[in-house]
Chain A
Amino acid sequence: MLTETVEEMAAGLFRDVTIPTIHIGMATCGLAAGARSILELVEKELQKRGLEARIVPTGCIGMCHNEPLVDITMPGKYRVSYRNVKALIIPQIFDAHFVKGDFAKKYAVCQIPVGGHTPYEGLPLMHETNFFKGQVKIVSSRCGLIDPSSIEDYIATNGYKALRKMLTSMTPEMVIEEMTKSGIRGRGGGGFPTGLKWKLTRQSPGDEKYVVCNADEGDPGAFMDRSILEGDPHSVLEGMLAAAYSIGNSKKGYIYCRAEYPLAIKRLRKAIDDAKERNFLGDNILGTDFSFDITIKEGAGAYVCGEETALLASLMGERGMPWPKPPFPAQKGVWGKPTVINNVETLGNVGHILLGGGDWYASYGSEKTKGTKTFALTGSIKNSGLIEVPAGTPLRSIVFDIGGGMLEKKIPFKAAQLGGPSGGCIPTSGLDTPVDFENVVAAGAIMGSGGIVIMDEASCIVDTAKFFLKFTQDESCGECTPCRVGSKIMLDILTRITEGQGQEGDLDELIRLSMYVKSNSLCGLGAAAPNPVLSTIRYFREEFEAHIRDKHCPGTVCANLIKYVVIEEDCTTCGLCEPVCPTGSVTWDKGEVAHINLETCIRCKACVDACKFRAII
Chain B
Amino acid sequence: MANTEHGVSIEINEEEIDQICEEFGNREGAVVQILQTIQEKYGYVPAEVLERVGEDLGIPHSKMFGVLTFYSQFYQEPRGKFILKVCVGTACHVRGAGLLVDKIKENLHIEAGENTEDMLFTLEPVACLGSCALAPMAMVNGNTYGKLSADKMVELINQFQEEGSGSDEEPVPAS
Contact = CB atoms under 8 A, between A and B. Distances in A.
Interface in B122-145: 126-135, 137, 142-145
A226 B130 contact: yes
Listed residue (A298, A379, A459, A464) with the most chain B CB atoms within 10 angstroms of its CB: A379
Contacts of B144: 28, 31-32
Given A302-B72, A318-B67, A379-B90, A64 B127 contact: no
Contact of A221 (B27, B90, B99, B143): B90
Interface stretch (A168-176, A212-220, A570-578): A212-220
20 contacts: A28-B130, A29-B146, A33-B146, A33-B147, A64-B131, A64-B134, A67-B133, A217-B130, A220-B89, A221-B91, A260-B130, A302-B70, A302-B72, A317-B27, A317-B30, A318-B67, A319-B70, A320-B71, A379-B132, A471-B127
Interface string A369-392: 000000010111000110000000
Contacts of A221: 89-91, 128, 132
A275 interface: no
Nearest to A28: B131
A28 B91 contact: no
A420 interface: yes
B33 interface: yes
A64 B31 CA distance: 37
A317 B31 CA distance: 5
B133 A378 contact: yes
Contacts of A467: 90, 93
B94 A380 contact: yes
B25 to A, nearest CB: 12
Nearest to B85: A260
A381 to B, nearest CB: 9
Contacts of B30: 317
A67 B94 contact: no
Interface of A: 26, 28-29, 31-33, 36, 57, 64-65, 67, 217-223, 226, 259-263, 266, 297-303, 314-321, 335, 376, 378-380, 384-385, 417, 420, 451, 453, 455, 459, 464, 467-468, 471, 474-475, 477, 604-605
Given A67-B133, A298-B33, A320-B71, A262 B174 contact: yes
Nearest to A227: B130
Contacts of B27: 317
Nearest to B74: A300
B70 A320 contact: yes
Contact of A222 (B67, B130, B142): B130
B146 to A, nearest CB: 4
Contacts of A57: 175
Contacts of B137: 32
Contact of A301 (B67, B72, B134): B72
A29 B71 contact: no
Nearest to B129: A260
B32 interface: yes
Contact of B36 (A218, A226, A300, A455): A300
Contact of B94 (A300, A420, A459, A604): A459
Contacts of A471: 127
A317 B91 CA distance: 32
Listed residue (B28, B71, B74) with the most chain A CB atoms within 10 angstroms of its CB: B71
A417 B133 CA distance: 15
B66 interface: yes
Contacts of A319: 66-67, 70
**What are the 10 tightest A-B residue pairs by CB atom distance, in nearest-first order?**
A64-B133, A220-B89, A301-B73, A32-B146, A300-B71, A223-B130, A221-B90, A378-B132, A32-B144, A301-B72
A241 to B, nearest CB: 23
A117 B148 CA distance: 40
A64 B30 CA distance: 37
Contacts of A321: 70
B71 A376 contact: no
A220 B90 CA distance: 5
B131 to A, nearest CB: 5
Contact of A385 (B35, B67, B133, B135): B133
Interface of B: 27-33, 35-36, 66-67, 70-74, 88-91, 93-95, 99, 126-135, 137, 142-147, 173-175
B71 A302 contact: yes
B9 to A, nearest CB: 26
Given A32-B134, A260-B128, A263-B174, 17 more contacts: A28-B144, A31-B174, A64-B132, A222-B130, A223-B128, A223-B131, A299-B71, A300-B71, A315-B29, A317-B27, A319-B67, A378-B133, A379-B90, A379-B94, A384-B133, A453-B132, A471-B127
Contacts of B128: 218-223, 260
Contacts of B126: 260
Contacts of B29: 315-317, 335
A301 B67 CA distance: 12
A143 B121 CA distance: 35
Contacts of A314: 32
Given A32-B146, A317-B28, A378-B90, A300 B134 contact: no
A67 B175 CA distance: 16
Contacts of B33: 297-298
Nearest to B90: A221
A217 to B, nearest CB: 7
A345 to B, nearest CB: 14
B159 to A, nearest CB: 14
A318 B31 CA distance: 8
A477 B28 CA distance: 21
B70 to A, nearest CB: 4
Contact of B132 (A266, A376, A455): A376
B90 A420 contact: yes
A387 to B, nearest CB: 11
A566 to B, nearest CB: 21
B71 A453 contact: no
B100 to A, nearest CB: 13
B91 A378 contact: yes
A23 B81 CA distance: 34
A185 to B, nearest CB: 23
A214 B165 CA distance: 41
Contact of A67 (B66, B67, B134, B135): B134
A414 to B, nearest CB: 11
B23 to A, nearest CB: 14
A302 B32 CA distance: 12
Listed residue (A67, A378, A475, A604) with the most chain B CB atoms within 10 angstroms of its CB: A378
Contact of B90 (A31, A32, A451): A451
Contacts of A26: 175
A317 B67 contact: yes
Nearest to B91: A378
Contacts of A303: 127
Contacts of B132: 64, 221, 223, 376, 378-379, 384, 453
A36 B133 contact: no
A65 B70 contact: no
A538 B29 CA distance: 45
